[in-house]
Structure 1
């Protein structure tokens, strides 16, 4: 595709230089540019992509998408636009042949539950012989292949490339996590969503969005845009009707709405819920009148909601409730999402990704449903992120856990002890019991060493992550590996 053809199909931008220059790829990171790429210069939060056009040209960039003509290297071809980030999404969609137009697209957004819900959606779709690709926090899944990801929702060129690969590999549907950052930064502009799923909205990412209303408005963009693209199948907004923000989302979307939840007001609801340390059981009531027993091996009352959301997607697509229940029963679970670490010990050790006040509360309340003894929790808070949630998480832990061990959790450029000092007032407020151990491995050992038969030890915040980020570098660290090793040592002693 030439620069001129790309501009014509995008419907915006002015061409400078040789419009016949051939484009063979799109990049937004100058370090990743290879010969033939179109380099998109995006003004960022820490630096400006326009400063790296010369570097990209030296690496073989065949063209440039810029906001300033003077950034185009001498002799190079360029496209000048008013907003490079918006244009990047359009260019990527055009270059990769509008792949979302070939897939039944499901976008899942919300503060908590996105990862689990997307995996459960894929499980129910593929359990009914509908090939379904997935991309999100953990990985990209296409058939039997798994690919690493850099962020929850990729930048537009990476996302469109993934969707093209899914379509070319014969996927009929695709489900993806849609972060608030991605919506606010136009990464998913030009993705043709058929279904939007809303899990919940609680405090997170206010370091980026600045206030809660802005955070909500970013999430709402997904639902406002539903139904604007090519009709490839059923369209719907599938919304957690028990969340306080549900009515606002229902009012602003232009497609049919299916609400789900535990209360009677919802279209799809669960009753007879039973939670154990090994999973959940419930009865799903569908709008058609069908009542389907469901049982699957992911503990937590919140996973009932995640399963309902997934079954709502399948219901809209036309899948049979019985087949969906069978698929959920076979599903083994999502790494790092309320994952049990079992070495034969007489108490429960669970690793979870909970890193918000609401997520932590859900995890602790779930543990209380099956704990026969005390509940201990190990957690910290990420550095260079929303500081306002730190005392709130402390308050939740102090109120719901019998004892807490505060430790480091990706402190990044911040002093880990200063982060803990911002968590502690919340625990003090409710007169909770806590200890401090900055070394996360020793913190996990400390918590497990206090466990008695019937107790539950929750290790939260990192979940599937296999690293710890400090000011001076990143080290390998996996809560699951550490917990398993501690339990094995305890067994030998």
Structure 2
């Protein structure tokens, strides 16, 4: 593709070279540049890739995009390379990539979900409802990329812009008519989603997060970047109960649909709801009132109050898209997020589930939700990751000692630490939470899973937390296969558990 086609409508300065230069690919990693590639120099928090301009020229790059001047000797050393200067190379990367991949977002209904908590679950719920309505759906987020017949992991919730545009092209080429994606505040701030307009934007909730060096300077800045989504969509589906909603929507340009429980909203759930527990499901049922006063009963195949909020957001999206009630009901009952309050239905005597909770706040929220189901015993199998903050270990230990009836301490991804040292830190937190809390230490996680199953009592609820959807175990930097759902199912089958 010619550079002239990629830059149409963009503001830039031609420093040297020719806009009729051929471009075979777009890169921001200097190690990946190939012949006739276009390299975008990014000014990062750790490194300025303008330093690699000469290197990528030697590797065969035909175009280099810069944000600030290159030394004269560097320009002189690459006379055959076309050089463009943009005010922001992150924005340039997004817009050039959008053009290179043929503006794929315009060929699908784009749905973006932002917020601190609930993004992953809500995107899965929306995907399930859309598929029940007959749509072919692609999904991008924390758990990776999904489209019919395919799944692979990502490094970031919202990928870098050129990777994102490549993924969107994959979805279109695979026949997807809709894309549901998590939109992080950093994804917006760093122009990863520049050039994408959403049919529907969703706001779940807001809590202090991602504030510090290399992220956001303040909570207000964090909130402001979240709010940018509602200047880039046609319809905003927002949580009327979150105290930050009004400030977050400052300057919004979209039509609004609200949902909630405590405050007036277009789609409102009754405060009273029912908890559902079977071998195959921990769920919740509630009554929904719509804008015209019509009400209907809704059942969600995931537990707790937060699942009601996620379901309300999903219903708001479905209604904004004009979907009928039947696929909404079907999708909400079937929706499943791997590794997030995921039941492993091996027994009618007890319930065992896996969850990604790996810090104090997530663990407390999960156990509070599960406690509402009044189990005979609340059993927690957990550890903490190695080479990470000890505060997480103290916090999880304290919460589990307070809220669980029995704890099974074991490894997580120990990385380069000894499991015994990690468990010792966890026990410091447990002593603070409840010095009399009963527990057992089983360093090998597979042995810990077997112990939990072997010693399960009638009516127990066993939460295996920390790894969730992860499919590996990290010991001394070596990752080996370890998918908890499969290991639990295999052991149950071996033992003949029903």
CA–CA separation in structure 2 for the residues paired with 1:404 and 1:221: 40
Q: In the TM superposition, what is the alpha-carbon distance from 1:350 to its structure 2 partner?
A: 0.3
- Structure-2 residue corresponding to 1:84: 89
Checking the alignment, whether the CA contact within 8 Å between 2:259 and 2:267 is kept in structure 1 is yes
- Structure-1 residue corresponding to 2:312: 308
Deviates more, 1:339-348 or 1:465-474: 465-474
- Structure-1 residue corresponding to 2:247: 248
Deviates more, 1:15-24 or 1:480-489: 480-489
Residue in structure 1 matching 2:157, options 131, 140, 152: 152
CA–CA separation in structure 1 for the residues paired with 2:57 and 2:418: 39
- Structure-2 residue corresponding to 1:333: 336
Deviations 1:411-430 (A, max 9, x none): 55666666656655543333
- 1:226 equivalent to 2:230? Answer yes
Q: In the TM superposition, what is the alpha-carbon distance from 1:310 to its structure 2 partner?
A: 0.9
Q: In the TM superposition, what is the alpha-carbon distance from 1:144 to its structure 2 partner?
A: 4.7
- Structure-1 residue corresponding to 2:471: 466
Q: In the TM superposition, what is the alpha-carbon distance from 1:117 to its structure 2 partner?
A: 0.9
Q: In the TM superposition, what is the alpha-carbon distance from 1:22 to its structure 2 partner?
A: 0.8
Deviations 1:74-98 (A, max 9, x none): 2333323343323212222232333
Cα distance, 1:383–1:60 mapped onto 2, change above 3 Å = farther
Q: In the TM superposition, what is the alpha-carbon distance from 1:236 to its structure 2 partner?
A: 2.5
Cα distance, 1:83–1:408 mapped onto 2, change above 3 Å = farther
- Structure-1 residue corresponding to 2:401: 398
Secondary structure (helix, strand or coil) at the match of 1:9 reads: coil
- Structure-2 residue corresponding to 1:122: 127
Cα distance, 1:3–1:387 mapped onto 2, change above 3 Å = farther
Deviates more, 1:385-394 or 1:269-278: 385-394
Q: In the TM superposition, what is the alpha-carbon distance from 1:351 to its structure 2 partner?
A: 0.5
TM-score norm. by structure 2 comes to: 0.85
Equivalent positions of 1:438-457 (< 5 A) are 438-457=443-462
Equivalent positions of 1:16-95 (< 5 A) are 16-53=16-53, 56-57=56-57, 59-67=59-67, 68-70=69-71, 74=78, 75-95=80-100
Q: In the TM superposition, what is the alpha-carbon distance from 1:374 to its structure 2 partner?
A: 0.9
Equivalent positions of 1:262-273 (< 5 A) are 262-271=261-270, 272-273=272-273
Residue in structure 2 matching 1:321, options 325, 335, 349: 325
Cα distance, 1:210–1:175 mapped onto 2, change above 3 Å = closer
Aligned residues: 485
Checking the alignment, whether the CA contact within 8 Å between 1:292 and 1:325 is kept in structure 2 is no
Residue in structure 2 matching 1:107, options 91, 104, 112: 112
Cα distance, 1:438–1:184 mapped onto 2, change above 3 Å = farther
- 1:282 equivalent to 2:282? Answer no
CA–CA separation in structure 1 for the residues paired with 2:390 and 2:242: 24
Deviates more, 1:424-433 or 1:127-136: 424-433
What is the CA RMSD across the aligned residues, in angstroms? 3.3
Deviates more, 1:259-268 or 1:54-63: 54-63
Q: In the TM superposition, what is the alpha-carbon distance from 1:339 to its structure 2 partner?
A: 1.2
- Structure-1 residue corresponding to 2:367: 364
- Structure-2 residue corresponding to 1:232: none
Deviates more, 1:450-459 or 1:319-328: 319-328
TM-score norm. by structure 1 comes to: 0.85
Q: In the TM superposition, what is the alpha-carbon distance from 1:458 to its structure 2 partner?
A: 0.6
Residue in structure 1 matching 2:182, options 166, 177, 182: 177
- 1:197 equivalent to 2:202? Answer yes
Checking the alignment, whether the CA contact within 8 Å between 1:274 and 1:281 is kept in structure 2 is yes
CA–CA separation in structure 1 for the residues paired with 2:194 and 2:417: 34
- 1:292 equivalent to 2:296? Answer yes
Q: In the TM superposition, what is the alpha-carbon distance from 1:153 to its structure 2 partner?
A: 1.5
Equivalent positions of 1:125-144 (< 5 A) are 125-144=130-149
Residue in structure 2 matching 1:214, options 210, 213, 218: 218
Cα distance, 1:64–1:210 mapped onto 2, change above 3 Å = closer
Q: In the TM superposition, what is the alpha-carbon distance from 1:289 to its structure 2 partner?
A: 1.8
Cα distance, 1:351–1:94 mapped onto 2, change above 3 Å = same
- Structure-2 residue corresponding to 1:429: 432
- Structure-2 residue corresponding to 1:257: 256
- 1:166 equivalent to 2:171? Answer yes
Q: In the TM superposition, what is the alpha-carbon distance from 1:23 to its structure 2 partner?
A: 1.0
Deviates more, 1:269-278 or 1:307-316: 269-278
